Amino acid sequence: AGAPRRMRGGLPEHGLCNPSAPNTSAPTDSDAYDLALRWWCDFYKHQQHEDWECHEYEHGQNDAWCMERVKAGAVNGTMFYFDAVSGDHRCGACSCCKRATNVSQALNDLYPKCDMPWNGGDETGVTAEERLVADRWFDANFDVFLINMPKDHARLQAMRSRLSRASISFERIPGVDLAAPEQYGAAKRDGLLPSGYDFEKAQSIART
């Protein structure tokens, strides 16, 4: 994600906070659904998820199988999540977990709409005081990070413009090109990557 959010605190003080923020898009990657999507996006009401539970591999199943199931989305009322080293640990001690869902492919296609500011809630009936409470809640509970490669000035300006229009402050984090041998080694030395991290293996897994 270009500008991932991290939630710091609890819910807003009143139910209008998030629906009354039509100029603020919601995080839409799968890791964000449990944290924020149900409060930010009107389309979340279509989703009725059960809690995640460990999936015990059967004969012929392994991590690669689980990752393929994740890519397939909701199939026959069940969706999977693979908790890699950098995951959010929703699977607990497992690497592969699942949950029941009633999300159809048609509803899956609606997810991108949640990241479009013009699909936010209607401001009708929202008072200035309520908007102020919502703005203060957002500022107090979220950090926004813009991850951008040092030389990608065009993207930086575009993201800065989009976030500024939504009145969202952010912290810029320079991206690291791990494909460059010198940066890969430096990232390990600086502690940005675990010593056992294998970039080539990670790329291989990502391509499968």
pLDDT band at 2 (very low <50, low <70, confident <90, very high): very low
pLDDT band at 65 (very low <50, low <70, confident <90, very high): very high
Q: What is the pLDDT of residue 124?
A: 66
Is the model's pLDDT at 25 over the cut of 70?
Answer: no
d(CA 26, CA 21): 10
When mean pLDDT is compared across 69-73, 117-121, 166-170, the lowest value belongs to: 117-121
Is the model's pLDDT at 197 over the cut of 80?
Answer: yes
The pTM of the whole model exceeds 0.95: no
Sign of CA dihedral 155, 71, 80, 202: negative
Is the model's pLDDT at 19 over the cut of 90?
Answer: no
Q: What is the pLDDT of residue 147?
A: 84
Domain ranges in the chain? 46-107, 122-175, 179-207
